[in-house]
Chains A and B, each alone.
Chain A
Amino acid sequence: MTINTLAEEGLRREQMACFRKMEKVIVAMQDPDMGMKMRNQRLLITVIPHAMTGQDIITWLIQKYHIYEEEALHLGEMLVRYGYIYPLKEPRCLVLRPDESPYRFQTPYFWTSTRWPASELDYAIYLAKKNIRKQGELMEYEKERYSLLHKRINHTWDFVVMQAREQLRASKQRRKADRIVLECQEQAYWLINRPPPGVQNMLDWGLERPNNLSARIPLNSDYYKSEIETSRRALGRNRVKSSVCLEGAPVPTRLRVERWSFSFMELLTDAMGRREFMTYLEKEFSAENLHFWQACEEIKHGESSKIVEKVEDVYKNFLAPGAARWVNIDSKTMDKTLEGIKRPHRFVLDDAQMHIYFLMKKDSYPRYLKSDLYKNMLAKAVVPQETKKSVFPFMRRQRHSSPSPAQASAQAAEEDGRAGTNSAAGSQL
C-alpha cells in the first residue's frame, strides 16, 4: 500500500491507489447481471432494500476473482474496514462475518478518500446533529470531542449550529426508510474517519498522522499573536551573510598570490589564502589542524562570555580521545592543555595552537607551495595592466597602484554611473 503525504490545504491531493482499486470492486458489485444478490432488510414497519449477507459477499468475491475463501475473506475485510460496506447489526464492529450478518453499500459521497479528508467543521456539524437527535445523549468520547471542537473552532460555532439544524430539516423531507439509511451511512462514515478511542485509525498515516485532538492548540487570538511575532522577528533578522567571497575580486592578483609564499603567516592572514590552503589540506586529510588553529584564534580574539563554551567545543571536537577531528599534539603539550581546560581562559589553548601552527608550517605549507593547486592559482592570477609611459609628460596618466578591491569596485561603479544606471548603487559602493 503506498502511503501518500497529506499535502497542505489547497494543494491537489491524489486518491490513494488502494482506494481506487476498492472502488472498482464496489462498482463491479453493482452490475445488474453479474453483481451482488441483494436482499431486503426488514425492520418493524419499514422495509429497506439493498442488504446483503457476509456470506453473499464472500461467495461473490470468490466467483468473480477466482480466489480462495481465505483471500476473499481478507479482501472483504478490507472493504468493510475502509468503509465501502458497513454492517447493519453491529455498526461499531467493522468486521466481515462470513454468515448471515447484513451489510450495505456506502454512498459515494461517504467513501473513504485521501482527496477529500473529513474536516473538523463537518465533524462538528455531525456531532451537533447527533446531539439534537439524541437530546444530548452522546457517548463519552463524543462529548469530549464536542467540547474540544467548541473551543477550537469557536469562531464558527454559530454556523455549526445553524447548519446542523438545517441539515436535519432537509433530511426530514425524505421518507422514513431513506432517513434511516442516511443516519446509518453518516454514522458509519464518522466511525471510520473519527474512530472512537482504542480503535485503530484506518487512515493512520504513521509518522505523518495528525496530532491527538486534545493536544492541539486552540486557534485563538493569542496563538495568532505569537505566530505573528515569530514571523516578524524572523523577517527582521539580517540574512545577508558577508562571506569571504564578497570581498574583492574573485580572481586575485599575482602579487597577492606571490605574497603567500613569503611566509606562512602571510598565507594565514589572507582570507583567500587561508581558504585555498584549507582546500589543499582537505585533499590531504589533515584539515583538522587548520580548523583547530582557527578555533583557537576565535577564542583568543572573541567575546569573553563565550570563552568557556568555545573551549568546551574545541575540547569535544579536537582534543578529546576519539574526537571527530582529533589533532595530533605531543603528549606533554596535551597534558598541559587538558589541565588548563579545567580553568579555561583566553590563552589556555596557546601552546597547543603554537604546536599545530609549527606542524603545519613545517609539513603542509611547503608541500602546498609546491602543489598544483598553488601553481594553478599563480597562473590564473591577474597581472594588473602597467600604465603606458607617455612620450609627453603632461599626457602621462597617473600610475595606478595594484588595484585594491575597494578601488576596483569604485571604478566599476563610476562607469556604471556614467552609463546612466542607478546612481544610488554607485554611491553605496
Chain B
Amino acid sequence: MVGDGEIAIVASCPSIFSVVGSASLKFGDKAGDFHNKNAKMIHFVLLISRQGKVRLTKWYSPYSQKERSKVIRELSGVILARGPKFCNFVEWGGYKVVYKRYASLYFCMCIDHDDNELEKLEIIHHFVEIMDRYFGSVCELDLIFNFHKAYYILDEILIAGELQESSKKTVARLITAQDSLVETAQEQASSISTIIAQATK
C-alpha cells in the first residue's frame, strides 16, 4: 500500500519532508539504483573492441566479480549489434548506457536514466581527446600495450563517477608530471643497482 511505504521513508530520514519537491519525485526514482538513491553518477566505464575484447574497465559502483562479467557480456552483445546511424544511448537494465565508437573501439559509460546523456557523451570525447594528445593520434594498439596509461589518464578525469577536470591542458600537465616522477625514480633505481653491481664485482 502506498501509504505505508511513504511513512516508512519519512520515519527513517531525519529531514522528513524533503521528499516533497525533490527532483527525484519528478522523474520517479529507480528502485534498482542499488547504490544510492540520489547518486546521479557514472556507474562504470567500459572500453570494448569491435571483437568484444575488453580494453579497460572501471567500476565506480560496487559490482561483484560475477556481476562485472555479466555486465560486460550483456552489454557487449547489445552495443556491438547497434547500427552506425543509431543514437548513442541504450536503455539497459534500468540504467542508460551512453556509448560512442572511435575506430575499432567502443567507449561506454553507464549512467542513471535521468542523468544528462549528452554531457556524458562529451566526457567520453574529452577522454579520447586527451589520450589522442598524449599518445599522438591514439589507436587501439596504444591502449593494449599501454593500458596502464589509460587508467592513469582516466583517474585524472573521473573520480567517484564524476568529472573532476575539464581542462585538457591541466590533465596533460598532471600526466606528464607523473611520468617524470616514475622515470626519475627508475633512473635512481638503476643507478643504485649499477653502483651495487660495480661494488660487488
Pairing of A with B: no
